[in-house]
Structure 1
Amino acid sequence: MSQIIITDMSFSYKTFYEPIFEKITLNLNTHWRLGLIGRNGRGKTTFLRLLHGELSPDKGRISLETDTELFPYENKVKYPLTMDVIKENIGGLRTLEDNLDDMDALGQYLELDGFSMEGHIKKEMYRMKLGDELLYRDFSLLSEGEKTKVLLIALFLRKDTYLLLDEPTNHLDIQGKKDVAEYLKRKKGFLVVSHDRDFLDEVADHILAINKSDITVEQGNFTTWKQNKDLKDEFEARTGERLNREVNQLERHAKKSRNWAGTANTQKYAFASHARTNGAKAYMGQAKRSEQQIRDKIEEKKSLLLNFETAKKLEFEQLDTEDAWLVKGKNIMYSYEDKELFFGLSFVIKQGERIWIRGRNGAGKTTLLKLILGKLSVRGILRAEELKITEALQEPLWKEGFLKELIDGANINSETFEKLCSLFDLPDALFHRPLETFSKGELKKIEIARALSVENHLILLDEPLNYMDIYFREQLERAILALNPTIVFVEHDEWFGERVATRTIHL
Structure 2
Amino acid sequence: MSIISVTNLTFAYEGSYDNIFEHVSFQLDSDWKLGFTGRNGRGKTTFLNLLLGKYEYSGHISANVSFEYFPFHVDDKGAMTMDIVAEIVPDVVQWQLIRELSLLQLSDDVLYRSFDSLSNGEQTKVMLAALFLKDNRFLLIDEPTNHLDLHARKLVGEYLRSKSGFILVSHDRSFLDHCVDHILSINKTNIEIQKGNFSAWWENKRRQDQYELASNEKLIKDIKRLSDSAKRTGKWSDEVEKSKNGTRNSGSKVDKGYIGHKAAKMMKRSKNIEQRQQSAIQEKSRLLKNIETADRLQIHPLPYHKNELVECDHVSIFYGSNVVCKDVNFRVEKGDRIALCGANGSGKSSLLKLICDEDIPHTGVARKDQQLKISYVSQDTSNLGGQLSDYAASQGIDESLFRAILSKLDLSRLQLEKDISTFSAGQKKKVLLAKSLSEQAHLYIWDEPLNYIDVISRMQIEELLLEYAPTLLFVEHDSEFCANIATKVIEL
TM-score by length of 1: 0.83
Displacement of 1:84: 2.4
1:13-412 aligned at under 5 Å gives the runs 13-57=13-57, 59-76=58-75, 80-90=79-89, 93=90, 112=91, 117-245=93-221, 298=281, 300-376=283-359, 378=362, 379-396=364-381, 399-412=384-397
* Structure 1 residue 242: Cα displacement: 3.0
In 2, Cα distance between equivalents of 1:82 and 1:156: 16
CA distance in 1, matches of 2:465, 2:381: 21
- Whole-Å separation in 2 of the counterparts to 1:335 and 1:79: 23
* Contact 1:412 1:454 survives alignment (8 Å): yes
Letter in structure 1 aligned against 2:432: E
Q: 1:421 to 1:78 in 2, by over 3 A?
A: closer
| Greater alpha carbon shift after TM alignment, 352-361 vs 299-308 | 299-308
- In 1, Cα distance between equivalents of 2:392 and 2:383: 10
**Structure 1 range deviating more: 219-228 or 362-371:** 219-228
Of 440, 447, 457, 1:462 maps to 447
Distance 1:248 1:319, change over 3 A: farther
Aligned partners of 2:77 and 2:116 also within 8 Å: no
| SS at structure 2 position matched to 1:430 | helix
Change (3 A) 1:471 1:250: farther
What corresponds to 1:276 in structure 2? none
Give the deviation of 1:467 after TM superposition.
0.7
Alignment of 1:462-501 (within 5 A): 462-501=447-486
Long gaps (5+) in structure 2: 231-272
CA contact (8 A) 1:5 1:28 kept: yes
- In structure 2, do the counterparts of structure 1 residues 78 and 501 end up closer, same or farther at CA, with 3 Å as the change threshold? closer
1: CA distance between counterparts of 2:378 and 2:40?
18
Aligned-residue Cα RMSD (Å) equals 2.6
Give the distance between the partners of 2:222 and 2:368, measured in 1 at CA. Answer: 58
Task: Please state whether the residue corresponding to 2:72 is helix, strand or coil.
Answer: coil
Query: Identity rate of aligned residues, in percent?
Result: 40
In structure 2, the residue matched to 1:11 is: 11
Matched pairs, number:
451
> 3-state SS of the aligned residue for 2:329?
strand
Task: Give the residue type in structure 2 aligned to 1:410.
Answer: Q
Quote the Cα distance in structure 2 between the aligned partners of 1:296 and 1:386. 64
The alpha carbon displacement at 1:88 in A equals 2.0
Distance 1:316 1:84, change over 3 A: same
- Aligned-partner Cα distance in 2 for 1:448–1:372: 19
Q: Which residue type is aligned with residue 453 of structure 1?
A: S
Output the amino acid matched with 1:47. Answer: F
Shift of 1:138: 2.0
Structure 1 residues 431 and 475 mapped into 2: Cα distance closer, same or farther (>3 Å)? closer
* Distance across 1 between alignment mates of 2:222 and 2:319: 65
SS at match of 2:19: strand
Deviation at 1:439, TM superposition (A): 1.2
| Structure 1 CA distance for aligned equivalents of residues 403 and 99 of structure 2 | 52
Distance 1:296 1:444, change over 3 A: farther
